[in-house]
Amino acid sequence: MDNTQHLPEADSRPKRPSLTCILPAFNEAENLRHLIPELSQYLQKFSDEIELLVVDDGSQDDTAALVSALTHEYPVTLLQLSRNFGKEAALSAGIDHADGDVVLLMDSDGQHPLAVVDQFFHHWHQGWEMVYGVREDRSDESHAKRHLTNLFYKILSRSAEIDIHPDAGDFRLLDRKVVQALRQLPERSRMMKGLYAWVGFPSKAVTFQVAPRMGGSTNFRLRHLSSLALTGFTSFSSAPLRIWMLIGAGVSVLSVLYAFIIVLRTLIFGSDVPGWPTIAAGIAFLGGIQLFSVGILGEYIARIFSEVKARPLYLVGRQVSFRDRAETRDN
């Protein structure tokens, strides 16, 4: 680890910044019951002004009730969304409501080891605007998921104008500046990882080992991930739209050549078999390509449609904060 690097920003960093920790939670009552006391104790190492902002993403268990009860004891704020909007929206809700000098993003299932946060702060103090966790290995995941993920990021980094680390995730520490930049991004189909990369800022990677889930099971199924992958592609790359121009041009040139050969052959050898096999093959080939490219256009248009509707990303149903408790006590 490079401990000597010192960026100019380092001088203006407060020693004890105020800290908001965003915890998106979907059915995580059992995990949060342990995580919240642990976190509010641990984070005192870095800050005197801590807020644990739990975004309840439409949980069906008693996450909301538990978190709201914990606001009496711990510096916890509950932001309860009106239904399940998905992790990306939950994170965005957190980012919109976080007012700390630094913002820590963390899963609520205990998979993100607290010890890594020490390094996050170390690098932030040295002037990095964003410090993100990179998982050391993905051995906890299935083979298929790992291969698909790798393939996705390989293709994405070739075709998109941004660079996303394949093993980076949402476990990260953001400076206020980055938080404000993220708030300016209005898009509705969101892949947060792409957005972190898009906003830029000096960023530092820290490797870590993913811990097993404390309890419960993962909420991400393959269908979910593939839809996120598609969002990633269509939001950050226009290559799928452009590639069809090249393929179309190539196919056209080839078919003109082929037609030329057929004409020559007919002139020289005469017409032998009426040429329906070639026609059928040609139609099928072109039909396939056309359907595929129409499908790709459709993907982009669907996204344009959802942006044009300009619906909010999430709706807040209820907000309970330890701050309100303190006020009512004072009055």
Rounded least distance, CB 213 to Mg ion, Å? 5
Q: Which stretch binds Mg ion (CB under 5 A): 21-29, 105-113, 153-161, 260-268?
A: 105-113
Q: Which stretch binds ligand UDP (CB under 6 A): 104-112, 181-189, 192-200, 266-274?
A: 104-112
Partner touching 179 among ligand UDP, Mg ion, none, CB below 5 to 8 Å by kind: none
Q: What is the 3-state secondary structure (H, E, C) of the chain?
A: CCCCCCCHHHHHCCCCCCEEEEEEECCCHHHHHHHHHHHHHHHHHCCCCEEEEEEECCCCCCHHHHHHHHCCCCCEEEEEECCCCCHHHHHHHHHHHCCCCEEEECCCCCCCCCHHHHHHHHHHHCCCCEEEEEECCCCCCCHHHHHHHHHHHHHHHHHCCCCCCCCEEEEEEEEHHHHHHHHCCCCCCCCHHHHHHHHCCCEEEEEECCCCCCCCCCCCCHHHHHHHHHHHHHHHCCHHHHHHHHHHHHHHHHHHHHHHHHHHHHHHHCCCCCCHHHHHHHHHHHHHHHHHHHHHHHHHHHHHHHHHHCCCCCCEEEEEEHHHHHHHHHC
86 contributes a contact to ligand UDP by CB under 6 A = yes
Rounded least distance, CB 23 to Mg ion, Å? 12
Q: Which is nearer to ligand UDP, 26 or 128 (CB)?
A: 26
109 contributes a contact to ligand UDP by CB under 6 A = yes
Q: Which is nearer to ligand UDP, 54 or 126 (CB)?
A: 54
132 contributes a contact to ligand UDP by CB under 6 A = no
User: Residue from 28, 109, 129, 175 that binds Mg ion (CB under 5 A)?
Assistant: 109
Q: Which is nearer to Mg ion, 220 or 285 (CB)?
A: 220
Q: Which stretch binds ligand UDP (CB under 6 A): 42-50, 65-73, 84-92, 259-267?
A: 84-92
Amino acid found at 252: S
157 contributes a contact to ligand UDP by CB under 6 A = no
φ and ψ at residue 225, rounded to 5 degrees: -70, -35
87 contributes a contact to ligand UDP by CB under 6 A = yes
Binders of ligand UDP among residues 215 to 244 (CB under 6 A) are 218-220
Alpha carbon dihedral 2, 7, 13, 15, in 10-degree steps, equals 30
User: Residue from 21, 22, 25, 50 that binds ligand UDP (CB under 6 A)?
Assistant: 25
108 contributes a contact to Mg ion by CB under 5 A = no
User: Residue from 19, 20, 21, 24 that binds ligand UDP (CB under 6 A)?
Assistant: 24
Amino acid found at 197: A
Residue 290: count other Cβ atoms within 10 Å of its Cβ: 12
111 contributes a contact to Mg ion by CB under 5 A = yes
Q: Which is nearer to ligand UDP, 3 or 217 (CB)?
A: 217
190 contributes a contact to ligand UDP by CB under 6 A = no
Partner touching 219 among ligand UDP, Mg ion, none, CB below 5 to 8 Å by kind: ligand UDP
Count, residues near ligand UDP per rule CB under 6 A = 16
- What order of strands is seen across the sheet that includes strand 168-175? 203-208, 130-135, 168-175, 102-105, 19-25, 50-56, 76-81, 316-321
27 contributes a contact to Mg ion by CB under 5 A = no
Q: Which is nearer to ligand UDP, 60 or 290 (CB)?
A: 60
Interface positions with ligand UDP (CB under 6 A): 24-26, 28, 57, 84, 86-87, 90, 107-109, 111, 218-220
Interface positions with Mg ion (CB under 5 A): 107, 109, 111
